[in-house]
């Protein structure tokens, strides 16, 4: 088994058919496979072996795709890093994953140089530029790829061989690497495609970062498996994407709820014809019902809600095209995935009664990278405990109600309060800090910080926001700040964030 077999198969069967359109340039399956082979041969030239980790710190573009599939071909593990991450965030991932090679660009080269000195396991940095440096640790992809062979056959791997390590984080704020196998991702993509009716006739578009698992699986990998094509965007712009959907007659869209909201903000007088859309996937957060209804009414299409998490490869349930759609649900479990709703003691709940959503089957991750304890706490007897609260009706439809975890989902991005709190505690004026998610019409949720200042210290809201922005990716920045005399705690001293959430909810009534 190897996820890269799909690319090789299409390169053999339909070599001259377009697979990707990027910046108005078309790339065929043959071209993509040959360039991927050059990357794969180059990685092996520099000592990368099966089981090694290679990190990709690139924006959306062809280089990301070449590097990703090259890593799969040689049996290494891909470790994507969000391009928006700052040095400290990337440094942790590189260190924890023991990445031997970092593939990046000029925009991150200065950071990469600095990190090279701090990371013993990182041996090389590959940059797709002409480099004027005699540093032996630097690889000029632009130069070396010109002479690399474009012939390479993907190696045969056992189904449970690792394909990628994607970093998420728990409520402790400590990032955890989720290891997924070729089996995990392959079956999840295959059953997901069948459930939503995706075929080689579909023309998709990718607008969110390729470093996100949903986009990797439900976009790149899934479309290659089915032999379709997609338009790749560097970033999301509602007007640009809507125009391209009309021009190209794109019929498959994957986005987070915030993107659907942004489509609705486009001027009504400007006619954006997106009637070609047949499949509109929403995931990353539960889309508000009113946004779904308005989007479907205005653009004469319908949306499909999916639910899952990185640990589930990532899809657990989805609105299945051949089944009745129940608008408030997140659909039915994918084939060969079992879902239960359980109470705090692990007892299965009857239909309609809330509890924690747990899942079992091909979707369950191999485990957290180098973290057996966290794996044991999350996967018990083969069941993945999601940390999400839901219920199930008598027909097996799942309804997502809330989260046991404190994670904030803002515009489809996962934000972990503890990480933001750790940054705030670095400020000399901050005595205590607690971060929660509050409702936001456009992004779903945004981070709000409650801060207790040290005695005789002063700081403004603007200064706190600026401080957090200097330490964190832009989507994680603290949007609202409230200075308080004290933060509610339990008798044992644990922060009572639920009380803060209740206070914020009361303001909305």
pLDDT tens for each residue of 451-468: 999 888 999 999 999 999
Give one DSSP letter per residue of 336-394, joined into a string: TEEEEEE-TTSPBPPTT--EEEEEEETTS-SEETT-HHHHHHHEETTEEEEEEEEEE-T
Domain count, the chain: 3
* 165 part of a folded domain: no
* pLDDT reported for residue 494: 60
Do 194 and 324 belong to one domain?
yes
Residue 488 near residue 458, CB atoms below 8 Å = no
pLDDT tens for each residue of 44-80: 999 999 999 999 999 999 999 999 999 999 999 999 9
* 198 part of a folded domain: yes
pLDDT tens for each residue of 265-291: 898 767 788 999 999 998 766 677 778
CATH of the domain at 304: 3.40.50.12780
Residues sharing a CB contact under 8 Å with residue 127, sequence separation 6 or more, in sequence order: 103, 104, 105, 106, 109, 112, 138, 139, 140, 141
pTM listed for this prediction: 0.85
Q: Burial of 98 by CB count in 10 Å (0-12 exposed, 13-18 middle, 19+ buried)?
A: middle
CATH of the domain at 122: 3.40.50.980
In the block, tokens 């640990």 appear at 311
Do 202 and 68 belong to one domain?
no
* Percent of the chain residues topping a pLDDT of 90: 70
Number of H helices, E strands in the chain: 16, 27
Do 299 and 444 belong to one domain?
no
Do 88 and 140 belong to one domain?
yes
Q: Give the three-class secondary structure for 79.
A: strand
* 492 part of a folded domain: yes
CA 61 to chain centre: 16
- Alpha-carbon distance of 247 to 227, in angstroms, equals 21
CATH of the domain at 457: 3.30.300.30
Q: Which domain holds residue 477?
A: 408-508
Per-residue pLDDT for 194 more than 50?
yes
Do 74 and 32 belong to one domain?
yes
Average pLDDT over residues 403-415: 81
Per-residue pLDDT for 321 more than 50?
yes
The DSSP output letter for 158 is -
Do 136 and 189 belong to one domain?
no
Residue 414 near residue 169, CB atoms below 8 Å = yes
* 38 part of a folded domain: yes
Per-residue pLDDT for 500 more than 70?
yes
Residue 402 near residue 357, CB atoms below 8 Å = no
Do 58 and 196 belong to one domain?
no
- Alpha-carbon distance of 187 to 167, in angstroms, equals 21
Q: Which of 141, 157, 173 is the last residue in one of the domains?
A: 157
- Alpha-carbon distance of 94 to 490, in angstroms, equals 37
């Amino acid at each position: 088994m190897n996820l890269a077999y799909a690319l090789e198969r299409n390169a053999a069967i339909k070599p001259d058919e377009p697979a990707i359109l990027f910046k108005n340039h078309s790339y065929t399956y043959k071209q993509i496979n040959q360039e991927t082979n050059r990357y794969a041969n180059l990685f092996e030239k520099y000592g990368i072996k099966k089981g090694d980790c290679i990190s990709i710190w690139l924006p959306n573009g062809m280089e990301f795709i070449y590097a990703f599939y090259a890593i799969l071909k040689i049996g290494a593990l891909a470790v994507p890093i969000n391009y928006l991450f700052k040095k400290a965030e990337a440094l942790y991932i590189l260190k924890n994953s023991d990445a031997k090679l970092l593939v990046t660009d000029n925009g991150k080269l200065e950071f990469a140089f600095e990190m090279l000195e701090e990371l013993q396991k990182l041996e090389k940095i590959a940059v797709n530029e002409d480099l004027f440096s005699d540093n032996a640790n630097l690889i000029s992809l632009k130069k070396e790829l010109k002479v690399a062979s474009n012939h390479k056959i993907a190696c045969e791997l056992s189904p449970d061989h690792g394909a990628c390590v994607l970093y998420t984080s728990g409520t402790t704020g400590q990032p955890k690497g989720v290891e997924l196998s070729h089996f995990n991702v392959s079956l999840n993509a295959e059953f997901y495609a069948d459930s939503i009716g995706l075929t080689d006739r579909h023309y998709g578009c990718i607008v969110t970062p390729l470093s996100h698992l949903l986009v990797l699986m439900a976009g790149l990998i899934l479309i290659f498996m089915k032999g379709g094509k997609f338009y790749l965007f560097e970033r999301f712009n509602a007007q640009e994407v809507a125009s391209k959907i009309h021009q190209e007659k794109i019929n498959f869209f994957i986005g987070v709820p915030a993107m659907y909201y942004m489509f609705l903000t486009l001027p009504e007088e400007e006619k954006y014809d997106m009637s070609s859309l047949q499949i509109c996937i929403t995931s990353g957060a539960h889309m508000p019902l009113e946004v779904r209804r308005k989007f479907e009414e205005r653009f004469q299409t319908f949306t499909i809600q999916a639910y899952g998490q990185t640990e589930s490869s990532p899809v657990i349930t989805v609105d299945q095209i051949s089944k009745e759609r129940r608008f408030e649900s997140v659909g039915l479990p994918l084939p060969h995935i079992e879902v239960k709703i359980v109470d705090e003691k692990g007892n299965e709940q009857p239909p309609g009664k809330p509890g924690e959503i747990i899942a079992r089957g091909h979707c369950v991750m191999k485990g957290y990278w180098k973290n057996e304890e966290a794996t044991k706490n999350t996967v018990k007897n083969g069941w993945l405990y999601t940390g999400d609260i839901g219920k199930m009706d008598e027909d097996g439809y799942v309804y997502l109600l809330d989260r046991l975890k404190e994670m904030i989902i803002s515009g489809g991005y996962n934000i972990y309060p503890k990480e933001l709190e750790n940054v705030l505690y670095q400020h000399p004026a901050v005595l205590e800090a607690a971060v929660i998610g509050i409702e936001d019409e456009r992004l779903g949720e945004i981070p709000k910080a409650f801060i207790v200042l040290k005695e005789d210290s002063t700081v403004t809201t603007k200064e706190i926001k600026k401080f957090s922005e200097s330490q964190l990716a832009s989507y994680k920045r603290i949007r609202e700040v409230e200075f308080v005399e004290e933060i509610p705690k339990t008798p044992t001293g644990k922060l009572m964030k639920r009380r803060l959430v209740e206070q914020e909810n009361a303001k909305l009534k």
